Amino acid sequence: MKKPSKKIHDKLFILTEKLLSSTFLKHAYIKFFERATLEEFEMVGINRNDKVIHIGCGALPNTLISLAKNIPANYVGIDRDRESVRIAKKIVERYKIKNVKIEEGDALNYPIQDFDLIIVSFGVEPKEKVFERIRKEAKKNAKIIYRKQWDFMDKIYGRKDFLPNGFKIISYHKRRDFIKSYLLVKE
């Protein structure tokens, strides 16, 4: 169960992304996180023919834009917030990126079985059910990037953020923005 401080953080983050997306700051935001994103995904080794899904891509799909601009592959971003999806589609269109598709979708029922890499954003809930589904339905050799806050943030949120059962940690990366990314595979 999410603690009130985590719920507030998630809502503020979504609102901030929506607000930034309507200003000239969206380009600065995407550019600011581009280097951190590329460093983070060095541990994955994305190939040209890979199909990548980002669950919880948000209104500013900076991860997908940064990856697509620098690493050829097939990218899909999903979010269950209809307004975020509408905004994200416009931003991807403005960047003229052809290998990114944004769709409204929920991690609990969106088809995931064909993806080689599954990115699960920090704010995606309910995490336990999402990872149970990934464990059951994702390709056997699929790689999963799971983003969580740095461990010291557990005190702020009043709980230790979970690491999913049924997965093996291959590597992890501490980003500059207090997010820790785990590269997981199914056990």
The model carries a pTM of 0.85
Integer CA distances (angstroms), 92 to 86, 95, 136, 141, in order: 10, 5, 31, 29
Q: What is the pLDDT of residue 86?
A: 95
**What value does the mean pLDDT take over residues 145-170?**
72
Which single residue is written with the structure tokens 């769709």? Answer: 103
Q: What is the pLDDT of residue 158?
A: 53
Contact between 61 and 92 (Cβ < 8 Å): yes
CB environment 12-22: b (16+ within 10 A), e (fewer)? eebeebbebbe
Q: Delineate the domains of the chain, giving CATH numbers in brackets.
A: 4-186 (3.40.50.150)
Q: What is the pLDDT of residue 180?
A: 83
Q: Taking 60 as the threshold, does the pLDDT of residue 1 lie above it?
A: no
Q: What is the pLDDT of residue 150?
A: 56
**What value does the mean pLDDT take over residues 42-54?**
96
Q: Using pLDDT thresholds of 50, 70 and 90, give the confidence band for residue 22.
A: low
- Rounded to an integer, what distance in angstroms lies between the CA atom of residue 157 and that of residue 10? 11
In terms of average pLDDT, the best of 23-27, 51-55, 57-61, 163-167 is 51-55
**What value does the mean pLDDT take over residues 51-71?**
96
Q: What is the pLDDT of residue 27?
A: 76
**What value does the mean pLDDT take over residues 158-177?**
78
